[in-house]
Amino acid sequence: MRSFINYSSDSDFSIHNIPFGVAVFENEYIACCTRIGDMVIDLATLYDYGFFDDIAGFDENVFESYTLNEFIELGKPVTNAVRLKIQEILGEDSKLASDEKTIAECFYNISQVKMMMPVHVPNYTDFYSSIEHATNVGKMFRGEDNALLPNWKHLPVGYHGRASSIVISGTDIIRPKGQMKPPEADTPVFGACRQLDFELEMAFIVNTNTEMGDSISVADAEDAIFGMVLFNDWSARDIQSWEYVPLGPFLGKNFGSSVSPWVVTLEALDPFRTTSPVQNPEVLDYLKFEGDKNFDINLQVYLQPENGAETLISSSNYKFMYWNMAQQLAHHTVNGCNVEVGDMYASGTISGENPDSFGSMLELTWRGTKPLYLEDGQERKFINDNDTVIMRGYGEKEGVRVGFGEVSGKILPAN
Residues recognised as catalytic: 133
* Rounded-to-integer distance, Cα 364 and Cα 339, Å: 35
- In three-state secondary structure terms, 289 is coil
CB 42 within 8 A of CB 110: no
- In three-state secondary structure terms, 357 is helix
> Would you call the peptide bond into 246 cis, given omega within 30 degrees of 0 as the criterion?
yes
- In three-state secondary structure terms, 132 is helix
Instruction: Specify the long-range contacts of residues 94-103, CB closer than 8 Å, at least 24 apart.
Output: 94/4, 96/4, 96/51, 97/4, 102/45, 102/46, 102/49
CB 115 within 8 A of CB 21: yes
Q: What is the dihedral of CA 348, 354, 356, 362, to 10 degrees?
A: 50
Rounded to 5, what percent of the chain is helix, strand, coil?
A: 25, 30, 45
- DSSP letters along 211-230, please? -TT----TTTGGGGEEEEEE
**Cβ neighbours for 31, distance < 8 A, ≥ 6 positions apart:** 22, 23, 25, 42, 43, 44, 45, 63, 64
Neighbour count for residue 112 (Cβ, 10 Å)? 13
- In three-state secondary structure terms, 321 is coil
Chain centroid to CA 129:
14
- In three-state secondary structure terms, 273 is strand
